[in-house]
Amino acid sequence: MLSDVTAFAPATVANVGIGFDILGHTVEALGDRVRIRRIDEPTVRINSITGVAGDLPVVPALNTAGRAVQAMHEALNLKFGFEIDIDKGIPLGSGMGGSAASAVAAVVAANALLEDPVARINLLRFAMEGEIVASGSVHVDNIAPCLFGGLTLTVGIDHPRVKSIPVPPSLRCVIVHPHMYLGTREARAVLKSDITRSDFVWQTANLAGFISGCYSNDLDMIRESFNDVIIEPQRQSLIPGFKDVKRGAMSAGALGCSISGAGPTVFAWVEFQYAEAVRGAMVAAFERHNLKSDYWISSIENYGARVVKA
């Protein structure tokens, strides 16, 4: 029986432009690591938080990883406890799924310590409890790809169904993180609760076109439908220079460019031969708006969270 396990969970691009709260994909370049040790006392406690942690709460009920493991502990009525060490690799408030990654890495590590580990789909709901602590809302578009890897579509909240969507192999994702903080709560608060019929039709057409383009390896279809007519227009003013960054990415050959999750990170899907040019154009555009940035070029079909040390 294992007593000490570390799991890694990757960063994620949620929404992928047109799939607000239901689509997301992994970014292998960075992620969070969570170490969990079995303790005799039937409780959940956080021992340390390191890395690009900022000011994260160490009270388990207020911490995404702590809350996710608590939810698991309660649901399974465990007679022993867990001690958690969190090593953050994903900056807070970056729009790269940091809260989801901590929650997912924590439940994957804790699961490996169980006599009877639960199925991955059941870990989703525990990680969701952690995500609620961070963002105040239930959405699975970071958690599902983080757990399952690649591009995922999640249908349903109470009984979520997760579908892995194939991605044309020539595509890469360029991720550019400007050095600023944007909270998910704040970025959700700006969204209107109603939409016009015309926007509804365009958004559903684009989402359907995008997914069918992924299944059929149709890059033109992906390019044509990579257009979020609802969320991006409402959020773009929260990210200085967004329009220029997007214009730069598209001029350099991107298939599409939008806000990663709640932002401020901006991502672009691109055929691999244009990836460097797109990255350069995006970083230069942020610089013109006095924002330095970090950047990564990632494949899209990656593994999800996994145990890295046991």
Contact set with ligand HSE (CB under 6 A) = 14-15, 20-21, 139, 141-142, 184, 187-188, 261-262
Q: Which two tokens stand for residue 252?
A: 């350099």
Tell me the three state secondary structure of residue 60. Answer: helix
Q: Could you give the CA distance from residue 272 to residue 225 in angstroms, rounded to a whole number?
A: 19
DSSP assignment, residue 61?
A: G
Give least dist CB 15 to ligand HSE, A. Answer: 5
**Which of 103, 221 has the CB closer to ligand HSE?**
103
* DSSP codes, 156-183: -SSS-EEEEEP--TTEEEEEEEES----
Give least dist CB 20 to ligand HSE, A. Answer: 6
- Among residues 141, 102, 164, 194, the alpha carbon closest in space to that of 13 is found at 141
Q: What is the layout of strands, in order, in the sheet containing 256-259?
A: 256-259, 266-271, 171-178, 293-298
Q: Which two tokens stand for residue 128?
A: 């969701």
Give least dist CB 270 to ligand HSE, A. Answer: 21
**Which of 15, 64 has the CB closer to ligand HSE?**
15
Give least dist CB 129 to ligand HSE, A. Answer: 15
**Which of 136, 169 has the CB closer to ligand HSE?**
136
**Which of 64, 184 has the CB closer to ligand HSE?**
184
- Among residues 132, 129, 104, 89, the alpha carbon closest in space to that of 36 is found at 104
DSSP assignment, residue 289?
A: T
Q: Apex CA 300: angle with CA 298 and CA 305, to 5°?
A: 95
Give least dist CB 260 to ligand HSE, A. Answer: 9
Neighbouring C-alpha atoms within 13 Å toward the C-beta of 56: 30
**Which of 63, 142 has the CB closer to ligand HSE?**
142
Q: How many other β-carbons are positioned within 10 Å of the β-carbon of residue 52?
A: 14
**Which of 142, 206 has the CB closer to ligand HSE?**
142
Give least dist CB 271 to ligand HSE, A. Answer: 26
